[in-house]
Amino acid sequence: MYRTWKTFQPYLLATPQALILLMFLVFPIVMIGVVSFWQFNGYSMTPAFSFDNYISIFTSQVSLATYINTFKYVVLVWEACLAIALPIAYYLTFCIERESVRVLLFLICTIPFWTSNIIRMISWIPLLGREGLVNQLLLNLNTVQTPVEWFLYSDFAIVLGMVHLYNFFMIAPVFNSMMRIDRTLITAARDMGASGFDVLKEIILPLTAPGIAIGSIFVVTLTMGEYVTVRLMGGGQSASVGKLISTQIGSLQYPLAAANAVILLLITLVLVTGILRVVDIRKEL
pLDDT in tens, 107-163: 888 887 777 778 888 888 888 888 888 888 888 888 888 888 888 888 899 999 999
Residue 39, SS3?
A: strand
Query: pTM score, two decimals?
Result: 0.87
Average pLDDT over residues 84-92: 92
Q: What is the pLDDT of residue 79?
A: 94
Write phi, then psi, for 129 (nearest 5 degrees): -65, 175
At residue 32, does pLDDT exceed 80? yes
Alpha carbon distances (Å) from 56 to 67, 113, 186: 14, 39, 56
Q: Is the dihedral of CA 75, 267, 271, 162 positive or negative?
A: positive
User: pLDDT-based confidence at 99, cuts 50/70/90?
Assistant: confident
- Element housing 154 (H / E): none
pLDDT digits (tens, 9 = 90+) for 60-83: 898 899 999 999 999 999 999 999
Count the neighbouring beta carbons within 10 Å of the beta carbon of residue 231.
Answer: 19
pLDDT for the residue numbered 67: 93
**Structural domains in the chain, sorted by start:** 62-284 (1.10.3720.10)
pLDDT at 68: 92
Distance CA(195)–CA(96), nearest Å, equals 20
List the single range of 173-182, 196-205, 264-273 with lowest mean pLDDT: 196-205
Neighbours of 217 (CB within 10 A): 19
Residue count of the chain: 285
Question: What mean pLDDT is reported for the chain?
Answer: 86
Q: What is the pLDDT of residue 218?
A: 93
Q: How confident is the model at residue 223 (pLDDT cuts 50, 70, 90)?
A: very high
Q: What are the start-end ranges of the E strands in the chain? A: 39-40, 45-46
Residue 103 backbone phi and psi in degrees, to 5: -65, -40
The set of residues, in sequence order, having a beta carbon less than 8 Å from that of 186 and lying 6+ positions away, is: 199, 203, 204
pLDDT value at position 285?
A: 56
Predicted pLDDT of residue 282:
67
Q: How far is CA 155 from CA 26, 51, 79, 231, in A?
A: 34, 33, 15, 11
